[in-house]
Amino acid sequence: MSDTPATALASVADAYVASWNEVEPAPRRAAIARVWADNGAYADPLMKSKGHAAIDDMIAGVQNRFAGFVLKRTSNVDSHNGNLRFAWSLGPAAGPSVVEGVDFCRLTSDGKLASVVGFIDKMP
Amino acid sequence: MSDTPATALASVADAYVASWNEVEPAPRRAAIARVWADNGAYADPLMKSKGHAAIDDMIAGVQNRFAGFVLKRTSNVDSHNGNLRFAWSLGPAAGPSVVEGVDFCRLTSDGKLASVVGFIDKMP
Protein backbone atom coordinates (compact mmCIF):
# COMPACT_ATOMS: atom_id res chain seq x y z
CA MET A 1 0.00 0.00 0.00
CA SER A 2 2.97 2.29 0.20
CA ASP A 3 2.40 3.19 -3.44
CA THR A 4 -1.23 4.09 -2.98
CA PRO A 5 -1.70 7.78 -3.76
CA ALA A 6 -2.29 10.03 -0.76
CA THR A 7 -5.65 11.09 -2.18
CA ALA A 8 -6.81 7.45 -2.26
CA LEU A 9 -5.73 6.97 1.35
CA ALA A 10 -7.61 10.09 2.39
CA SER A 11 -10.63 8.72 0.53
CA VAL A 12 -10.52 5.53 2.61
CA ALA A 13 -10.38 7.57 5.80
CA ASP A 14 -13.23 9.80 4.65
CA ALA A 15 -15.39 6.86 3.56
CA TYR A 16 -14.77 5.30 6.97
CA VAL A 17 -15.76 8.51 8.76
CA ALA A 18 -18.85 8.84 6.54
CA SER A 19 -19.95 5.32 7.52
CA TRP A 20 -20.10 6.45 11.16
CA ASN A 21 -22.36 9.33 10.18
CA GLU A 22 -24.77 7.38 7.96
CA VAL A 23 -27.87 6.82 10.10
CA GLU A 24 -29.96 4.98 7.49
CA PRO A 25 -29.31 1.25 8.00
CA ALA A 26 -29.10 0.12 4.37
CA PRO A 27 -26.67 2.78 3.14
CA ARG A 28 -24.68 2.44 6.35
CA ARG A 29 -24.24 -1.28 5.80
CA ALA A 30 -23.27 -0.61 2.18
CA ALA A 31 -20.73 1.98 3.27
CA ILE A 32 -19.23 -0.47 5.78
CA ALA A 33 -19.01 -3.20 3.14
CA ARG A 34 -17.21 -0.84 0.76
CA VAL A 35 -14.57 0.38 3.18
CA TRP A 36 -13.89 -2.62 5.46
CA ALA A 37 -12.28 -5.97 4.68
CA ASP A 38 -14.59 -8.92 5.45
CA ASN A 39 -12.86 -9.71 8.73
CA GLY A 40 -11.97 -6.14 9.55
CA ALA A 41 -11.66 -5.42 13.26
CA TYR A 42 -12.27 -2.25 15.26
CA ALA A 43 -11.05 -1.61 18.81
CA ASP A 44 -10.93 1.44 21.03
CA PRO A 45 -10.80 1.63 24.85
CA LEU A 46 -14.61 1.28 25.06
CA MET A 47 -15.74 -0.88 22.14
CA LYS A 48 -14.64 -3.78 19.97
CA SER A 49 -16.18 -5.35 16.87
CA LYS A 50 -15.10 -7.65 14.06
CA GLY A 51 -16.77 -8.22 10.71
CA HIS A 52 -19.28 -6.05 8.85
CA ALA A 53 -22.37 -7.01 10.87
CA ALA A 54 -20.69 -6.42 14.23
CA ILE A 55 -19.21 -3.12 13.05
CA ASP A 56 -22.66 -2.04 11.87
CA ASP A 57 -24.21 -2.97 15.23
CA MET A 58 -21.52 -1.01 17.03
CA ILE A 59 -22.01 2.11 14.92
CA ALA A 60 -25.80 1.92 15.23
CA GLY A 61 -25.40 1.66 19.00
CA VAL A 62 -23.23 4.77 19.14
CA GLN A 63 -25.68 6.64 16.91
CA ASN A 64 -28.54 5.68 19.24
CA ARG A 65 -26.71 6.74 22.37
CA PHE A 66 -25.38 9.99 20.92
CA ALA A 67 -28.12 11.07 18.52
CA GLY A 68 -27.08 14.04 16.42
CA PHE A 69 -23.39 13.61 17.07
CA VAL A 70 -21.15 13.77 14.02
CA LEU A 71 -17.71 12.23 13.53
CA LYS A 72 -15.28 14.61 11.84
CA ARG A 73 -11.74 14.07 10.61
CA THR A 74 -9.64 16.86 12.15
CA SER A 75 -6.17 16.21 10.72
CA ASN A 76 -4.53 15.22 7.50
CA VAL A 77 -4.32 11.51 6.77
CA ASP A 78 -0.75 10.50 7.51
CA SER A 79 0.27 7.20 5.91
CA HIS A 80 3.08 4.80 5.03
CA ASN A 81 3.36 1.07 4.31
CA GLY A 82 -0.39 0.53 4.40
CA ASN A 83 -0.78 2.25 7.76
CA LEU A 84 -2.86 5.38 8.30
CA ARG A 85 -3.42 7.72 11.17
CA PHE A 86 -5.72 10.68 11.50
CA ALA A 87 -7.28 12.67 14.30
CA TRP A 88 -11.03 12.96 14.75
CA SER A 89 -13.68 14.57 16.91
CA LEU A 90 -17.16 13.47 17.89
CA GLY A 91 -19.89 15.85 18.96
CA PRO A 92 -22.82 17.93 17.79
CA ALA A 93 -22.62 19.04 14.18
CA ALA A 94 -22.28 22.63 15.41
CA GLY A 95 -20.38 23.50 18.56
CA PRO A 96 -17.40 22.09 20.39
CA SER A 97 -16.45 18.42 20.22
CA VAL A 98 -17.24 16.08 23.12
CA VAL A 99 -14.73 13.33 22.37
CA GLU A 100 -11.47 13.56 20.46
CA GLY A 101 -8.98 10.91 19.45
CA VAL A 102 -6.71 9.37 16.86
CA ASP A 103 -7.44 6.35 14.69
CA PHE A 104 -4.61 4.12 13.58
CA CYS A 105 -5.63 1.97 10.59
CA ARG A 106 -4.04 -0.93 8.74
CA LEU A 107 -5.10 -1.53 5.13
CA THR A 108 -5.27 -4.79 3.20
CA SER A 109 -3.34 -5.07 -0.05
CA ASP A 110 -6.50 -4.06 -1.92
CA GLY A 111 -6.95 -0.92 0.13
CA LYS A 112 -9.68 -1.95 2.55
CA LEU A 113 -9.60 -1.54 6.31
CA ALA A 114 -8.11 -4.60 8.00
CA SER A 115 -8.06 -2.95 11.42
CA VAL A 116 -8.82 0.35 13.08
CA VAL A 117 -7.44 1.02 16.55
CA GLY A 118 -8.75 4.15 18.20
CA PHE A 119 -7.09 6.03 21.02
CA ILE A 120 -8.83 8.75 23.03
CA ASP A 121 -7.28 12.16 23.63
CA LYS A 122 -10.31 13.92 25.16
CA MET A 123 -13.34 12.44 26.86
CA PRO A 124 -15.81 13.91 29.37
CA MET B 1 -3.35 -8.12 26.64
CA SER B 2 -6.18 -5.92 27.86
CA ASP B 3 -5.61 -7.24 31.37
CA THR B 4 -1.90 -6.49 31.38
CA PRO B 5 -1.20 -3.92 34.10
CA ALA B 6 -0.36 -0.43 32.88
CA THR B 7 3.03 -0.61 34.57
CA ALA B 8 3.90 -3.75 32.56
CA LEU B 9 2.89 -2.03 29.33
CA ALA B 10 5.02 0.99 30.19
CA SER B 11 7.88 -1.44 30.89
CA VAL B 12 7.57 -2.88 27.37
CA ALA B 13 7.67 0.61 25.88
CA ASP B 14 10.65 1.57 28.02
CA ALA B 15 12.55 -1.64 27.21
CA TYR B 16 11.89 -0.96 23.53
CA VAL B 17 13.18 2.62 23.84
CA ALA B 18 16.22 1.39 25.78
CA SER B 19 17.06 -1.05 22.97
CA TRP B 20 17.41 1.92 20.59
CA ASN B 21 19.86 3.55 22.98
CA GLU B 22 22.05 0.50 23.64
CA VAL B 23 25.15 0.99 21.48
CA GLU B 24 27.00 -2.16 22.55
CA PRO B 25 26.08 -4.91 20.06
CA ALA B 26 25.70 -7.86 22.43
CA PRO B 27 23.47 -6.16 25.01
CA ARG B 28 21.52 -4.47 22.21
CA ARG B 29 20.77 -7.82 20.59
CA ALA B 30 19.78 -9.22 23.98
CA ALA B 31 17.48 -6.26 24.60
CA ILE B 32 15.85 -6.75 21.19
CA ALA B 33 15.34 -10.46 21.85
CA ARG B 34 13.69 -9.71 25.18
CA VAL B 35 11.21 -7.12 23.93
CA TRP B 36 10.34 -8.25 20.39
CA ALA B 37 8.45 -11.33 19.19
CA ASP B 38 10.54 -13.49 16.85
CA ASN B 39 8.83 -12.17 13.72
CA GLY B 40 8.24 -8.69 15.07
CA ALA B 41 8.09 -5.99 12.40
CA TYR B 42 9.00 -2.32 12.51
CA ALA B 43 7.94 0.30 9.97
CA ASP B 44 8.10 4.06 9.83
CA PRO B 45 8.09 6.37 6.79
CA LEU B 46 11.86 5.91 6.33
CA MET B 47 12.75 2.38 7.50
CA LYS B 48 11.36 -1.13 7.71
CA SER B 49 12.69 -4.27 9.35
CA LYS B 50 11.37 -7.67 10.42
CA GLY B 51 12.90 -10.15 12.83
CA HIS B 52 15.52 -9.62 15.50
CA ALA B 53 18.57 -9.51 13.23
CA ALA B 54 17.04 -7.00 10.82
CA ILE B 55 15.80 -4.83 13.68
CA ASP B 56 19.29 -4.89 15.18
CA ASP B 57 20.84 -3.90 11.84
CA MET B 58 18.37 -1.04 11.52
CA ILE B 59 19.04 0.30 15.00
CA ALA B 60 22.82 0.00 14.52
CA GLY B 61 22.49 1.96 11.28
CA VAL B 62 20.59 4.76 12.97
CA GLN B 63 23.13 4.85 15.81
CA ASN B 64 25.96 5.14 13.27
CA ARG B 65 24.29 7.92 11.32
CA PHE B 66 23.20 9.89 14.37
CA ALA B 67 25.93 9.21 16.90
CA GLY B 68 25.09 10.56 20.34
CA PHE B 69 21.39 10.87 19.65
CA VAL B 70 19.10 9.47 22.32
CA LEU B 71 15.54 8.20 21.93
CA LYS B 72 13.28 9.40 24.73
CA ARG B 73 9.67 8.56 25.55
CA THR B 74 7.84 11.88 25.87
CA SER B 75 4.28 10.83 26.77
CA ASN B 76 2.48 8.32 28.93
CA VAL B 77 1.99 4.87 27.44
CA ASP B 78 -1.65 4.73 26.34
CA SER B 79 -2.97 1.21 25.84
CA HIS B 80 -5.98 -1.03 25.29
CA ASN B 81 -6.57 -4.49 23.81
CA GLY B 82 -2.86 -5.18 23.34
CA ASN B 83 -2.26 -1.90 21.50
CA LEU B 84 0.08 0.81 22.77
CA ARG B 85 0.88 4.32 21.70
CA PHE B 86 3.42 6.74 23.03
CA ALA B 87 5.20 9.84 21.79
CA TRP B 88 8.97 10.01 21.50
CA SER B 89 11.79 12.33 20.54
CA LEU B 90 15.20 11.71 19.04
CA GLY B 91 18.13 14.06 19.42
CA PRO B 92 21.20 14.88 21.48
CA ALA B 93 20.99 13.78 25.11
CA ALA B 94 20.97 17.44 26.10
CA GLY B 95 19.23 20.09 24.04
CA PRO B 96 16.19 20.21 21.80
CA SER B 97 14.95 17.17 19.91
CA VAL B 98 15.62 16.78 16.19
CA VAL B 99 12.89 14.30 15.31
CA GLU B 100 9.61 13.68 17.10
CA GLY B 101 6.87 11.13 16.50
CA VAL B 102 4.43 8.60 17.83
CA ASP B 103 4.81 4.82 17.89
CA PHE B 104 1.81 2.53 17.69
CA CYS B 105 2.62 -0.97 18.92
CA ARG B 106 0.76 -4.26 18.87
CA LEU B 107 1.67 -6.86 21.48
CA THR B 108 1.54 -10.63 21.25
CA SER B 109 -0.50 -12.53 23.82
CA ASP B 110 2.70 -13.01 25.85
CA GLY B 111 3.44 -9.30 25.91
CA LYS B 112 6.15 -9.02 23.26
CA LEU B 113 6.18 -6.55 20.38
CA ALA B 114 4.50 -7.99 17.29
CA SER B 115 4.65 -4.71 15.40
CA VAL B 116 5.73 -1.12 15.86
CA VAL B 117 4.49 1.49 13.40
CA GLY B 118 6.07 4.90 13.76
CA PHE B 119 4.67 8.17 12.50
CA ILE B 120 6.66 11.38 12.34
CA ASP B 121 5.39 14.66 13.79
CA LYS B 122 8.60 16.71 13.45
CA MET B 123 11.56 16.21 11.13
CA PRO B 124 14.19 18.64 9.85
The predicted-structure confidence for B5-56, as pLDDT tens digits, reads as follows 777 888 999 999 999 999 999 999 999 999 999 999 999 999 999 999 999 9
Mean pLDDT estimate for chain B: 94
pLDDT of A95 over the 80 cut: yes
What DSSP character marks residue A7? Answer: H
Element holding B46 (H helix, E strand): none
Rounded to a whole number, what is the distance in Å from the CA of A80 to chain B's nearest CA? Answer: 6
Contact call for residues A33 and A100 (beta carbons, < 8 A): no
pLDDT of B83 over the 80 cut: yes
Average pLDDT over residues B96-106: 97
Mean pLDDT estimate for chain A: 94
Residue B22 dihedral angles phi and psi, to the nearest 5°: -85, 110
Q: Per-residue pLDDT tens for A7-32? A: 788 899 999 999 999 999 999 999 99
Q: Per-residue pLDDT tens for A35-84? A: 999 999 999 999 999 999 999 999 999 999 999 999 999 999 999 999 99
Q: How far apart are the first and last CA of chain B?
A: 36
pLDDT of A5 over the 80 cut: no
Cα–Cα distance, A82 to B9 (Å, whole number): 25
pLDDT of B2 over the 70 cut: no
Q: Cβ of B81 and A119 within 8 Å?
A: no
Mutate to test the interface with B, among A49, A80, A115, A121 (most CBs of B within 10 A): A80
Which chain B residues in 60-99 lie under 8 Å from chain A, judged by CB atoms? 78, 80-81, 83, 85
What DSSP character marks residue B66? Answer: T
Cα–Cα distance, A121 to B78 (Å, whole number): 10
Contact call for residues A83 and A95 (beta carbons, < 8 A): no
Of residues B58, B29, B30, the one with CA closest to residue B116: B58
